[in-house]
Every structure is written in structure tokens, then in C-alpha cells.
Copies of this chain bind each other. A is one copy, B any other.
């Protein structure tokens, strides 16, 4: 039998939240991953991840630092940038270039090339998987180029905000 599943969601990528994992799940996932990979999920790293997963929207490094400071950690810039780099390398955080912000991955624990859909008005950001976005990358052979990392960000206006616009 054919699956219609995919298209059900794809018609409203930007509605609701496409939060594959929610708070508890996310913490469990990162714990498991760190154990499996023999990495240290230190209090600092855990805190930074919690800050990001909490309201699951992009935060600037300095916003994160402020929150860290309030919970007893150092709030000097290298602290945040180092931990963020680490979490990015291991796929639990992405950088949203267009906002100079950092966001918890919606579907971590596997390598992927996500698309970020960003409403310029309400500033909501959705992470959309390759399948759902309908976006297909060029095959490496064709482009004669080995893709290691992608930055794909679609900025515009979500239907909610568009309907609310007067112009």
C-alpha cells in the first residue's frame, strides 16, 4: 500500500512546531549519544543544550551567555562559542546564519542537511528535513564537488503573518 503520510505534514511545514523531539526526549537522546560516543555531557554542555531546547528558537550567543550567567556559569564569550561548536559538531545544534543564532536540532542523532524556514515577521523558525522540504541537493558527481556542509535558509512570510498583514 502507498503511503500518504509525508504529504499530510508537508502542506503545513510552518504550522505548529516541527519539533521531532521535545524536551525530555531531547535530553535522553543527547545523553544516550554522549554515552555511546564516550563524550562528556558536562553540566555546562547540558545547560547550554537545555537553554536551547527550552523554547526551541534561535538564540544569539550572547543571549545564551546571559542565561548561563544567571545559573552560575561563566558568561564570557568563549564559553558559549566553545560549547556551541561542540554541540554543532555532534549534530545537536545548528547555526542559523541569517540570524546569527543557534537552535537545537529538531531531529538529531543522524547526519542531515536541514532547511530552515524563517518568517521575517514573527521570527518563527522551522527546521525542515530534506524529504519534507522537497528540496533536493545536486548530486556530488554532477557538481564535481564534495558537499560537506549545507546552509539552506528560506526567509519570507508565513501564512499566519501574511493574512494579518494590512498592505
Chain A residues within 8 Å of B, Cβ to Cβ = 10-15, 97-98, 115, 117, 119-120, 128, 133-139, 142-159, 162
Interface residue from B10, B138, B147, B151 paired with A143 (Cβ < 8 Å): B10
Copies in the complex: 2
A158 to B155: give the CA distance in the assembly, Å. 28
Instruction: State which of B11, B136, B155 has its C-beta within 8 Å of the C-beta of A150.
Output: B155
What separation, in Å, do the CA atoms of A154 and B142 have in the docked complex?
A: 14
Contact assessment for A143 and B97 in the assembled complex, using a CB-CB cutoff below 8 Å? no
Could you list some 13 contacts between A and B, CB below 8 A? A10-B142, A12-B144, A14-B143, A97-B151, A117-B145, A133-B143, A135-B137, A136-B136, A144-B158, A148-B155, A150-B155, A151-B152, A152-B153
